[in-house]
Amino acid sequence: MPTESDTHYDPSLGNKFIFVTGGVMSGLGKGITAASTGRLLKNAGFDVTAVKIDPYLNVDAGTMNPYQHGEVYVLEDGGEVDLDLGNYERFLDIDMTSDHNITTGKTYQHVIEKERAGDYLGKTVQIIPHITDDIKRRIREAAEGTDVCIIEVGGTVGDIEGMPYLEALRQFAHEEPEENVLFTHVTLVPYSKNGEQKTKPTQHSVKEVRSIGLQPDVIVGRCEDRLEPETKEKIALFCDIPTDAVFSNPDVEDVYHVPLMVEEEGLDQYVLEHFGMAEDALPPAERTNDWRKIVTTEKDGEIDIALVGKYDLEDAYMSIHESLKHAGFEVGVDVNVHWVPADEMADGHEGQLEDVDGVIVPGGFGMRGSEGKIEAVRYARENDVPFLGLCLGFQMAVVEYARNVLGFEGAHSAEMVEDTPHPVIDILPEQYEVQDMGGTMRLGEHTTVIEPETLAYELYDDTSCTERHRHRYEVNPEYFDDFEDEPLTFSGTAGNRMEILELEDHPFFFGTQFHPEYTSRPGQPSPPFLGLVEGILDESGADEGAETESESTSDTETEVTH
């Protein structure tokens, strides 16, 4: 194994490494496969972490359009990253940092800065060894202090931008003992028109991997159904791996069932035996069964929630969808999310909200859809519909109240209308001189002080909470006095910043400047999301009780009359 002076990293960092690559096409579910593997290893008693490699040239995901890359997930240290890191945090129940996301922009920027500083002592700076060394260093440092590190390589094998990473993995495997490294390749196994599972795409994908110098130890076939025994045997024969190293990852009702599916296939046991860790693992009878209990909870009913947003794409609001699932797990109901285009709400499309039990107005940026979000807030407030506003949704709730209750005509956010007569939402003071867009917002974990005897206190059961933020604008301090004696109160603050709002005499009306969806987990639902779901159930129960009482009274009156 090379020494630290040879390669510029400490070879003692980390322990076991699982590299997950994908073939045939993107979007197969490498991240869920990797996260599920980690969940099972964690159940077996090991400390597990993960790294996501994104080969794009962006330094981070912060400036990306959700249509391009799904939601921007925010870590506790303020890192703006790919949504797959959200899956890792939820599946592994860990808090990750920016160091767990490697991008081409981040890597090249670091190497170029070192070259400009003269750190390479006049050497010609090249992809090999300087870029590949930096990639390996980042992986090992992220793995420090854990038993297993799972590294997902974004994109598809064969993509030109991913080549430096695959070369770094080839070197990595050469430097590590064989029993410390495992390569998992996720591929597509489609059906032919006559219903046959076709292995040719997998064969070509593995051929591409092997041409780079990597040999998969495990192949996971994504298919509508489990792989047939003959399909597994064919993949094993043509890809030169044991048949028991080929696993199925079929379509399931919920991604949280994937760990259960691959556990039935024996993936965790195969990995443990490959690493020589089977004897150190907890016996199957002693492994935690909490995950299975949580995600297979029997549901007693269902509720419908409208998500009034500007992106017709579930991935754009991934963490919100997952947080509602977590709340549903907790109370035993299915939560059906209905996307409502915010653009249409401004034209009086209130009918789209008439049949739902609750309304969420999520975060976002830009003018498009803002008037529709304001209308959605107004509808929820006036019709006693349980409401949750997140970040921009919180701000639009302030704007709606200022306009329609306080009478501030034309009130708006200065982000949307610079010359608004009432900028009840204005830019953060520290943002005045900011020029660059990437990584310059108020980001990451910040503490909010919660007023006692409020809904916020009831939800968090504490006088403070720590949640993740991502915003440039906030409630304008000049308007604090106008809200002082109003039913709409700010029950959570951070110094001079308003962080939580709530409305008295309403079934559930709650808004947060922060993004509570980023810290929600199966078994540990986010308090605002759990509060929304419970508020809906309480309201529906009250309505049913009122209807029953009304019907009973009517029947009694009828009997007396006749």
Integer angstrom CA distances of residue 51 from 13, 82, 86, 165: 14, 11, 12, 13
Catalytic residue from among 263, 330, 400, 517: 517
Pairing of strands 412-413, 423-427: parallel
415 annotated ligand-binding residue? yes
User: Which of 280, 188, 183 minimizes the C-alpha distance to 227?
Assistant: 188
325 carries a ligand binding annotation: no
Alpha helices in 59-102 (DSSP H): 66-69, 84-92
514 annotated to bind ligand: no
Annotated ligand binding at 221? The verdict is no
Is 364 annotated as ligand-binding? Answer: yes
Binding site annotation covers 556?
no
Query: Is 472 labelled as part of a ligand binding site?
Result: yes
**Are the beta carbons of 279 and 305 closer than 8 angstroms?**
no
DSSP for residue 130: I
Instruction: Indicate the DSSP class of residue 196.
Output: P
Is 446 catalytic? The answer is: no
How far apart (Å, rounded) are the C-alpha atoms in residues 377 and 506? Answer: 13
Does 32 carry a binding-site annotation? yes
Concerning whether 223 is annotated as a catalytic residue, the answer is no
Catalytic-role residue among 130, 446, 471, 515: 515
Residue 42 marked ligand-binding:
no
Residue 152 assigned as binding residue: yes
Cis amide linkage into residue 129, ω under 30° from 0: yes
Q: Is 161 one of the annotated binding-site residues?
A: yes
Q: Is 31 annotated as a binding residue?
A: yes
* Burial annotation 252-273 (CB, 10 A radius, 16+ → b, else e): eeebbebbbbbbebebbbbbbe
315 annotated to a ligand binding site: no
Q: What is the DSSP track for 290-304?
A: HHHHHHTPPP-EEEE
366 appears as a binding residue in the annotation: no
Distance CA 500, CA 498 (A): 6
CA-wise closest residue to 307 among 345, 334, 333: 345
Question: Is 30 annotated in some ligand binding site?
Answer: yes
Q: Is 201 annotated as a binding residue?
A: yes
26 annotated as a binding-site residue? yes
The answer to whether 504 is a known catalytic residue is no
> Using an 8 Å Cβ cutoff, are 451 and 500 in contact?
no
Amino acid, single-letter form, for residue 186 = V
Which candidate, 520, 486, 531, 414, places its Cα nearest to that of 89? Answer: 520
Instruction: Write out the DSSP string of 10-57.
Output: -TTS--EEEEEEE-SSS-S-HHHHHHHHHHHHHHTT--EEEEEEE-SS
Place of tokens 């994937």: 258
- Measured CA to CA, the distance from residue 410 to residue 407 in angstroms comes to 9
- Out of 391, 412, 474, 499, pick the active-site residue: 391
DSSP 220-263: EEEESSPPPHHHHHHHHHHHTS-GGGEEEEE--SSGGGHHHHHH
**394 closest CA partner among 424, 437, 422:** 424
Q: Residue 428, annotated ligand binder?
A: no
Q: Is 234 annotated as a binding residue?
A: yes
Q: Where is the binding site for L-glutamine, in residues? A: 67, 364, 392-395, 415, 472
Q: Where is the binding site for Mg(2+), in residues? A: 84, 152
Q: Where is the binding site for UTP, in residues? A: 26, 198-203, 234
State the catalytic residues: 391, 515, 517
Q: Where is the binding site for CTP, in residues? A: 26, 159-161, 198-203, 234
Q: Where is the binding site, in residues? A: 26-32, 67, 84, 152, 159-161, 198-203, 234, 252, 364, 392-395, 415, 472
